[in-house]
Structure 1
Amino acid sequence: MSKSILLQTALALPNPDIEALIQGRMIAAMPRMFLNPGRTFALYPANLSVDLLSGDRYYRSHFLPIAQKALAQLNSDRVSIKAWAKCELCQMVNEPESLEALSQLTVWKTEALQQILQQRPFIFVAYLRVYLLPQPLEMPVQSSGNFVSLPKSLNVTDSTPVLSESMFAKRRQKLEKLELPEHPELEELQSALVHLSTTNPKAKQLDEEIKIFLGWSENLPTTKPDPDLDWIKTIAQIGNSSDGNGFEKLVRKGFIKLGFGNSNHKPEASLDPESTGGAGGLDFYCETPYQVVGECKATKSETVADGTPAQLIKLGHKHLQEQYNCCIKIIMAAGQLNRHANKTAIGNHMNVIRPETLQRLVELKAKQPGSIDLLQLKPCLEQQPFGEEADAKVNRYIDGVREKLKVRSHVLSILKKYLETTGSKRASVDSLSGAFSMSNPPKQLSREELHEILVELSSPLTGYAGRIKGDSLGRDRFYFLRDLLLDD
């Protein structure tokens, strides 16, 4: 349950520092006075220059463009307060040998910290748990001492933390022990992506995923669905119409979305949605990662005659020659095949798949990009049954993928709940195994299977969990990074 807190003052900090706190890049601030743990305050963006150091000497190079932008946003008349914070701890640092590690865990340059320490007996380092305001508070600029008075009391709640309790605890431990960051090269890459992410959606997605992996963020701030879902959700509708050309284009786009490819630009044996085969050409042909050839049959209500599989045989041999025999063969058809057509399809090892099934497969790929492994799908398409019964085996494959995703989502939820309940920073497989088995999971897992899934989820390529590797299975420790959200 969220707590209600009344704020009357704001701590004045350099605006770039506040931006770094809001972005989750660091949890530290350098106030000019000691802050009592438990004290709460808004964060007032001030144009403070620490000991008159210029920005390029004060901030680390990868953060400097963000710092310059934050300083440029300051207005001489009004300020915008976006967040508030609670001081969790305040320490005094005066050991020169600690400054490099402190720099690596924040956005401040080591030389800037050294210069501050030359002019003061110590540096105050406050650990701040930061929360976003539901909307920015605009107020006139005030001469900034350590604290400024708010124009009116501000009633806030702790329902929108920048970092969850478990993530903040992990970051706090690293700062207290001055442990160097594990992936400084990724911090550099993330900063380089900041400029690209404003105009390039793929760069933005990578930027967000890196921030999650680094522990700067836990949820994607913009969970926009894949824009391709707009056309993906029309596959079944168009397939069950008389728009044969439109259906063929959607099928080609669907196969490309799944990860199939074709470098052959000949329109009669292509996968290009803008250059369909037309009369005498194959409806779709994939070369990679394996060969697939197919015929599309959009229809409102009529049955599919023997001419459709016969057409695939004829055109396949014509355009692919001996390669046709190596291909997986698919008929995408909305209508039911008549007896002769289904017999031909079975005898020639053709999978008859409905538009609804293709749509379901491509939708899953769009919503969970790593879920469809085409090499695992291949045996499903190569094995019996063929003909109209093949549709059921493809749906069983989809159901199996969804079941695996449910298990992984459940494992993550158990890890997250365990850490929140116990207050631990990380969990072993043994401690999670009991909690998992008692949680009514979609599927019971052995200790080894649970460990294998946790390792998979903590891969840098997935970034759902983190892993502290031990010297054996029982010594690995895992921590939560982000949810794996699934549609019902």
Structure 2
Amino acid sequence: MSESILIYNALCLPAPDIEALTQGRTIAAMSRKLLNTGQKFALYPLDYSATILSIEQYYHASFLPIAQSALTQFNSQGILLQPKQISLLKNDEQLQLPLLSYETVSIKTWAKCERCQILDPTENLDILSQLTIWKTEVFEAVLQKKPHIFLAYLRVYHLPQLCEVVANPNIQEKLGKFVSLPNSLTVSETRPVLNDRTFAQRKHQLEKLEPSLHPELEELQSAIASLTISQPAAKQLDDDIKVFLGWSSDKLIKQPDPNLAWINDIAKLGDRSIEQDEGKSNYQAGTDFEIIARRSLDFLGFKVEENYKGGAGGLDLFCSQPYPLVCECKAGKSIPDRAVEELDRIGKRHLKENYLQAMRLIIGPGQPTKNLKESAQISKISIINVMTLQKLVEFKAKYPGAINLVELQQYLEPGQIDYRINEYIDKAERDIKLRSQIITAVKELSEQDNENAKATHPSFTVTEIRVHYNATHNPRLNDEVVHDLLIELSSPLTGYLGRIKGSNWNSDRFYFLRDLPIN
């Protein structure tokens, strides 16, 4: 259990600087004095107005929108209200006394100083600027007034809850300095912004002034930052890029997408009795189920042709890609025996000779009768329960690239095939779990590699990764299988691992970028 720590003071920094530290964009802060290694303090946000340059001259263009947003949010608190007069009656005399009214400031993080470096004009300020949020002109302007700069390397932690303090009227004069807190804070090191490994890499990069590896991605992240509030997809991409860049070390936990809430209704709409309870006709219940089945097949990746929309004598669903699929939807508590004959008759009428080349599927609730199963075997028609369809769609929503429709075709056998679809889902889950375990093996090697602990991206050969994986997993894998998996996981389209290409496949090296979380 983490030890409790008491904090009595706070370092005052511009609100944008604290936002960058909180997001993991930087681990550096400029102070007015040399900080002691191990010193702990809260981070007190201030306005930018006391700094030496305009905000456009101070921060990189890529960080500027976030800096302006942080200041807007900070200034919306209305830190200092104007003095106002109050009246007091004393000895029958009315006295007018000024009363200053102050708003509160929210403190949400604290930090521990891991190092404080003294910089002078001989330093490579251009690379230092690349590794921080400040332009080179900022360092030059400071060094024109002072002989050196105090650059603190801060390990930042989230407070267990926001700390509200009353703003001091002269607080702007404390920029880069410490102020006392009205009440001490009890904190622990359980909620770091960056984990140990990621922070060590960032600290090493800053100490050695190693240039940023992915400046283009940093530009992209800043460009989409303003979209994250209104666009869930942008938020997911933003989180992915932060993990890739090392600005965040949290495992990505995919939040439920409100746009996919309809998936929970697939099985419900297949049971016509529920629809009747809601006062709908049988025809309307069937139409609702057909609509959601159409949406489900489209979501799974089939190309659903719009010319076929059921109705009297109509074909419920026809998918043309990646292979022809004819589908009949039967809402209600059971599937009638005539369903196979109906599908054969309607399918042949609409598709003619193409019907016999198509895969054929009936979706409905309940257990098919013995006669229905026999008819399905003869006509080579597959039958699945509506809940099985929902499981497929849920799996697709959880792992968007996991369902291979061409592979799924092998499981579409004649008769009732719910067990076969479940077998396919189980296989796909095993495939994902294997890839997650390979990623974890690379991550564990990175964390255990004491010799390369200071390397920005410790990398490993296929054999090293295979040996580490095989030590704890069965069945064991060979180098060729592991290499194929590593190539897949280091693809730009996946981005779970990075790859350093060697002269041949056996000399390729791979390094960890981000987790593949599975439930």
TM-score range for the pair, normalised by the shorter chain length: 0.7 to 0.9
Cα separation, partners in 2 of 1:454 and 1:155, compared to 1, 3 Å: farther
**What does 1:14-413 align with in structure 2 at a 5 Å threshold?**
14-48=14-48, 52-72=52-72, 73-74=74-75, 75-76=79-80, 77=102, 78-95=104-121, 98-142=124-168, 143=171, 144=174, 146-219=177-250, 223-227=254-258, 230-242=261-273, 243-262=285-304, 264-266=305-307, 269-270=308-309, 277-300=310-333, 302=334, 304-305=336-337, 307-381=338-412, 385-388=413-416, 390-413=417-440
Cα separation, partners in 2 of 1:480 and 1:208, compared to 1, 3 Å: closer
Shift of 1:467: 4.2
Report the TM-score, using the length of structure 1 for normalisation.
Answer: 0.88
CA distance in 1, matches of 2:227, 2:200: 31
Cα separation, partners in 2 of 1:469 and 1:106, compared to 1, 3 Å: farther
**Unpaired segments of 5 or more residues in structure 2?**
81-101, 274-284
Where 1:26 maps in the other structure, the secondary structure is coil
Aligned to 2:90: none
Aligned to 2:470: 437
User: Deviations for 1:413-454, whole angstroms, at most 9, x for unmatched residues?
Assistant: 344444445554635244443332232x36432233334334
User: Deviations for 1:213-269, whole angstroms, at most 9, x for unmatched residues?
Assistant: 22222336774223355432333344344443333222222112212233x433xx1
Where 1:287 maps in the other structure, the secondary structure is strand
CA distance in 2, matches of 1:3, 1:454: 39
CA distance in 2, matches of 1:51, 1:340: 83
Paired AA for residue 28 in structure 1: A
Q: Contact 1:427–1:478 (CA<8 Å) still a contact in 2? A: yes
Higher alpha-carbon deviation: 310-319 or 365-374: 310-319
Where 1:30 maps in the other structure, the secondary structure is strand
User: Deviations for 1:124-148, whole angstroms, at most 9, x for unmatched residues?
Assistant: 2222111111211111224315111
User: Deviations for 1:142-172, whole angstroms, at most 9, x for unmatched residues?
Assistant: 4315111111111101111111111112222
**Matched residue count:** 470
Report the TM-score, using the length of structure 2 for normalisation.
Answer: 0.83
Where 1:396 maps in the other structure, the secondary structure is helix
State the percentage of identical aligned residues: 46
Q: Contact 1:51–1:116 (CA<8 Å) still a contact in 2? A: no
**Runs of 4+ off more than 6 Å:** none
Q: Contact 1:225–1:367 (CA<8 Å) still a contact in 2? A: no
User: Deviations for 1:348-389, whole angstroms, at most 9, x for unmatched residues?
Assistant: 3322222222111111111122221223323433xxx3222x
CA distance in 2, matches of 1:452, 1:3: 45
CA distance in 2, matches of 1:228, 1:366: 11
Aligned to 1:274: none
Shift of 1:88: 1.5
Larger Rg: 2
Cα separation, partners in 2 of 1:443 and 1:391, compared to 1, 3 Å: same
Aligned to 1:273: none
Cα separation, partners in 2 of 1:25 and 1:232, compared to 1, 3 Å: same
CA distance in 1, matches of 2:140, 2:113: 24
Residue 493 of structure 2 corresponds to residue 461 of structure 1: yes
User: Deviations for 1:317-372, whole angstroms, at most 9, x for unmatched residues?
Assistant: 33334443443221113344444433443333322222222111111111122221
Residue 29 of structure 2 corresponds to residue 2 of structure 1: no
Q: Contact 2:41–2:111 (CA<8 Å) still a contact in 1? A: yes
Q: Contact 1:209–1:463 (CA<8 Å) still a contact in 2? A: no
CA distance in 2, matches of 1:256, 1:205: 23
Where 2:113 maps in the other structure, the secondary structure is strand
Tell me how large the CA RMSD over aligned residues is.
Answer: 2.6
Higher alpha-carbon deviation: 158-167 or 473-482: 473-482
**Unpaired segments of 5 or more residues in structure 1?**
271-276
Higher alpha-carbon deviation: 119-128 or 391-400: 119-128
Aligned to 2:84: none
